[in-house]
Structure formats: structure tokens, C-alpha cells
Structure 1
Amino acid sequence: MKAMFYDAFGRTPTIETLPDPEPGEGGVVIEVGATGICRSDWHGWMGHDPDIGLPHVPGHELAGRIVAIGRDVRRFAIGDRVTVPFVSGCGRCGTCHSGNQQICPSQFQPGFTHWGSFAQYVALDFADTNLVALPDSVDDATAASLGCRFATSFRAVVDQARLKPGEWIAVHGCGGVGLSAIMIAAALGAHPIAIDLADDKLAFARECGAVATVNAADVPSVVEAVREITGGGAHVSIDALGHPTTCFNSIQNLRRRGRHVQIGLMVGDEATPRIPMAQVIGHELEIYGSHGMQAWRYDAMLAMLESGRIAPGALIGRRIALAEGIDALTGMGTSDAVGLSVITDLG
């Protein structure tokens, strides 16, 4: 198979011909129809993820068709179109039995703990627990865009933040995660505020449902700008970027008893950001993380998609070939591109 491959962190990947994968006893092999390029892939390539061993094939947002199946798989068959959460549970531990496969201590992550989907084929373990059957109405590119950014945002907004119609939600960072959160929040009848440094991203955020925007470079205080727009602070706020400043602002711009959800990753020297703890205590704020979404929750997200309430495919900015994915991946640390890049040509 053709695959994007690197054998050193930070070194430009190459397109190589590698052996086709084989399914484990409880796993499958997917012929990849589309795979999204995510900032998490960039973090992995940079060496920020301790789970990645070298050499490596990245890629964790995927959709495709089953072409090989392990002997213990019962719920799926060759030919089925499927996607998978980027965090997959083992299905056997107490955490999985509680329904929280997204934080399974023995989790399988394509593109991180195992070789991923920037390839013609990818092997996935724990298939019966984690695969999600795709309706014919959802194409591979749209399904791939759900796998990390959109699903993580869905869980963050719907399950973690418990966002209600009429509430204000501030979204710090208008990349794929932030735009997904804005679209989902608007579909729920809430009032999203988009915060970013780029006017083109803020304009796109309005197309996705933001009712107000804040360019952080143009205001003396992002926190005061949000408080003014909302009449006292957001009910919910999300750091969709992952930076000490956006994390701090996201917590500080909340109204009393507000809810902050941290989606954006913070690594290295930024892994332990400053938090306005006196405000957390005095205003009884709630702080949550959001790490993927369980396969069994995809039904709710797909139902909203099929009803037309959300349109994640509208967030796709570019559909590219596997070789073009090299520049898209390595440039992600400095890219100001609007929308998502999805590899749809794996040949």
C-alpha cells in the first residue's frame, strides 16, 4: 500500500510503499476512502505525543470500507462502510463498561498508538466496540471530518458543557474544532461568539452560525469584549485552540456558575497553564476536558447531520491527494488556512 511515512519526529514525511496490514482477531482492515488532516497529527509528527513509536504512519480521522475482518468480529462484515472515533476503547475494562470508551486506559488510537490512515489501508482493533456504520447519505469526506474535531466538539458542547438553547457560548479559536463547536451550538439554539486573530476565519465562523465575533488583536481585552456582548459573561466557553492565553480567557470570560471545556491540546512548557482559581471558586465555575467521543454517541450526531441541522461537510476547505498531505501536515503549525483539509485521493 501507499502511505505517508516518517522515521524521525519533525523530519519531512515521504510517500512509501509499505506492506498491507492484516486484521487482528477482533479487528478489521479498512480501505481508506478519505482521511482528515488535524492539528493533532501535527503534534504527533512534532514528537509531542508519547504514545507514538517510530517509524510511523499518521492519520486518525477516517472513513472507508471494510476489506478484511478478524475471526472474532460479529457486528460488521466485509463491504460495510464505516468510520471510527479517534479514541477507541478496548470494550473489556470497567471504564468501557461504564460507556466511557473515549478515556479507556487501554485505548487504541489509529495514527498515535498504532499506524494510521494516511494510507490506502488501515487496521483497526476492537471493531465491534468502536466501528460506526455510515448511512449512504454521508460521503467519506464528510464522515472523515467527523472523526476527531467534530465529534470531540459535539461531546464538548452537548455532553460536557450541557449547552442549552438561548445560552451564550464563547469559542476561542476558529480552526476545525472551533468552527465545529460553533455550528453545533447554533444548531442547538444557543448564541455562539467566535474569537480569533484572523478576520477571514471570523467571517467563516459567522457562516457557521456565530452571532458575534471578536478579533483578539483589535480589542484591549477579550474577556471584557465577551462580557459586554453577553451582558455579564458566557454561560459556556471553550478553548478550541490550546494555548495558555485562550485557556485563561475562556475561564475568565464566564458568568457565575459558567462551564469551561478544554479541547485544545497544550504541550511542553504550555502544559500547565495559569488558571484564575479565585474566580473558579468564588463563582462556582465548572471546568471539563473533552477527549473524543464514544462510538455509541455517534447516532445522535448522525441524526442531526441527516436532518440537516448540522453540515460538517461545509467545513471542508480542500480535498487533496496523499502526496499533497505532506505539506498540509508539516505546515499546520503556522497555517492560516480556513476550513479543513481532507485527503480523498489515496492512490
Structure 2
Amino acid sequence: MRAVVIEEYGVVPVVRDVPKPVAADGAVVLRVEATGLCRSDWHGWMGHDADIVLPHVPGHELAGTIAAVGAGVTGWQVGDRVTTPFICACGTCEQCLEGNQQVCPNQLQPGFNYWGSFAEYVAVPYASVNLVRLPDDMDFATAAGLGCRFATSFRAVHQVGKVRAGERVAVFGCGGVGLSAVMIASALGASVVAIDTNPDALKLAREYGAVHTVEASDQVAAEIQDLGGAHVTIDALGSSDIVQQALTSLRPRGRHVQIGLLPSGVQLDVGRLIGQELSWLGSHGMPAHAYPEMLALVASGNLHPAELITRTITLAETPAALAALSAGTPPGITVITPGVA
């Protein structure tokens, strides 16, 4: 099969032939119909993830058709249209049995722990726990966008941040995760403030429901406090500077939700956390069993994840697009279609 292969960190990958995966016991192999280009893939390409072993195929947001079913997998067959969380949980540990597959200590992540979906085929381990059947009327590109950024934002906004109607939510960073958070928080009835350096990203944020848009600067926190402060802040990019601005933007007893990765770490103003009784909340993906609520809101027309897709590219165009993330995250979601020349 054809795949995007990272042979050296920080060096533009190549597209070449590699062995097709096999369906191990408990696993399935998918023909990849669509896969998202995410900033997490860039972090992996730059060498920020210790689990990656070179050479490596990235890609973790995916949707496809089951091409092979391994021994022990029940309820699924060749030809089924599916997606999967980027966290493939084991299904048997204490956390999984409590329903917290997103923090499974035995998790495997495509594109990080093993070869991912920037390829014509990809394996999904622990398939019985991690596959999500797609609605008949949902296209693969939309489904691929759900797998990481939209599903991650849905859980972060709704289940972790517990955003309520009438609250003010400040979303820092309007890439795929941030714009998803804007759309979801707006659908929940929140008043959303979107912050980014890119005017095009802010334009999209307004289209997806942001009431206020603010160009990123060192005055952001003051501007948000002038609006009355935020009940909830979300770092959808991953930046120590953003974290400080987000915490300063909160009202007393506000909640900060951290989605963006912080490979260089962060120093917090713990005095402010204590004195203002602020909450710092981490959010990491969403388990397969939680997808039905999100899919129901999409089916009802309350959420429109397809609108977040701003670009579709081929496998051949992917290496350059991955490298271009070094200059910043483009607005919206980029989807790769491996089967299209």
C-alpha cells in the first residue's frame, strides 16, 4: 500500500510503498477513506512523542470501510462503514470497565504507538471496544473530522467543561479543535469569544457562532474581562502564554479546559488558582461509547461538523501540508483522501 512515511524527525516525509497491515486477533483492518491532518501529527513529526519509532506512518483521525476482521471480533464484518476514537482502549482494565476508555493505561494510538492512517489501510486494535458505526447519511470526510478534533472538543466543552447556556466561553486558537469548540459551545447556548492571530480563522469562528472575536495580543485577558470575564476558557492550541492569558481571563470560580498539548511544559500562577478558586481541567479525547449523543446532535441539525472542513488533499500532497504546520495551523480542518490520486 501507499503511505506517508516519516524517516527523520523534522524532515519532510515521503510517500512510498509499505507492507499492508494484517488483522491481528481482536483487531480489524480498515481501508482508509478519509483521514484528518491534525497538529498532533505535527508534534509527532517533530519528535515530541516518545512512543514513536522511526520509520513511522502518522495519522490518527480516520474513517473507513472494514477490509479484514481478526479472530475474536464479533458484531463487525467486511464492508461496515466505521470511525474510531484516536485512543484505542483495551476494554478490560479498571478505567475501561468504569467507562473511562479515554484514559486507558493500555491504550494504543494509531499514528503514535503504531503506524497510522496517512495510508491506504490502517489497523484498529481492540476493535470490539473502539469501533463506531457511521450513520448511512454521514460521509467519510465528516466522520474523519469527528475522530479527534470534533469529538475531543465535544467532550471538553460538554462533558468536562460542563458549559451551560448563558455562560461566556473564551476559545483560544481557532484551528480544527478550536472551531469545533466554538460551534459546540454556541450550540449549547454559550456566548463565545474566539481568539486567534489569523483573521480568516476569526471569520470562520463568527460563522460558527462566536459572538465576539479578538485578535491575539497581550491585551486579550483585559478585553475579555471588560466583557465580564469568562466562565470557561479553552486552550485549543497548546501554549504556555495562552494558558496564562486564559487563567487571567476567567471570572472567579471559572473553569479552564486544557486540550492543546504542552510539550515544553507550563508554569501556573497557583496563587491565582487558589485565590480565585479556579479549576484546571484536562480533557483527552472521547470514548467510543460516548459518540451516540454527539452523532444524535449532528443528525438533528444542531451541530454541523462538515462545515469545518476547509480543504481536501491527496496522499501525495500530505508531506508538504504536514511540514507547512510549522508556520502555523490553517483555519478549519484539512482532510486527506488516500484513495484519490
Structure 1 and Structure 2 fold alike (TM over 0.5): yes
Shift of 1:346: 2.7
The two structures, once aligned, show a CA RMSD in angstroms of: 1.0
1:184-203 mapped onto 2 (5 Å cutoff): 184-203=184-203
The answer to whether residue 246 in structure 2 is matched with residue 253 in structure 1 is no
Q: Which residue of 2 aligns with 1:2?
A: 2
Shift of residue 306 of structure 1? 0.8
Paired AA for residue 219 in structure 2: S
2:58 and 2:111 in contact (8 A); partners too = yes
Structure 1 partner of 2:223 = 225
Q: CA deviation at 1:336?
A: 5.2
Q: Deviations over 1:80-136 (max 9, x none)?
A: 100000011100110111111111111010000010000100011000001100001
Q: Please identify, of 275-284 and 87-96, the stretch whose mean Cα deviation from structure 2 is larger.
A: 275-284
Shift of 1:335: 3.4
Asked whether the 8 Å contact 1:37–1:343 carries over to 2, the reply is: yes
Q: Which residue of 1 aligns with 2:33?
A: 33
Q: Distance in 1 between matches of 2:124 and 2:338?
A: 20
Give the aligned residue type for 1:247: V
Structure 2 letter corresponding to 1:250: A
TM-score normalized by the length of structure 2:
0.98
Task: Give the length in aligned residue pairs.
Answer: 340
**Amino acid in the other structure paired with 1:245:** D
Matches within 5 A, 1:51-90: 51-90=51-90
1 CA distance for matches of 2:21 and 2:299?
33
CA separation in 1, counterparts of 2:162 and 2:259? Answer: 15
Match of 1:275 in 2: 268
Deviation at 1:241, TM superposition (A): 1.0
Q: Partners in 1 of 2:87 and 2:196 — Cα distance?
A: 28
Q: Do 1:328 and 1:341's aligned partners in 2 also have CA atoms closer than 8 Å?
A: no
Aligned residue runs from structure 1 range 1-347, under 5 A = 1-217=1-217, 221-229=219-227, 231=228, 233-267=229-263, 270-271=264-265, 273-335=266-328, 337-347=330-340
Q: Which runs of 5+ in 2 are unaligned?
A: none
Q: Is the 8 A contact 2:39 2:329 kept in 1?
A: no
CA distance in 2, matches of 1:280, 1:137: 45
Structure 1 unmatched runs, 5+ = none
- Residues 111-163 of structure 1, C-alpha deviation per residue, up to 9 Å, x if partnerless? 00010000100011000001100001110000001111111111100111000
Distance 2:219 2:15 in 1: 45
Partners of 2:290 and 2:331 lie apart in 1 by 28
Specify whether residues 46 and 336 from structure 1 end up closer, same or farther in structure 2 by C-alpha distance, changes over 3 A only. Answer: closer
- State the 1:302 CA deviation: 0.6
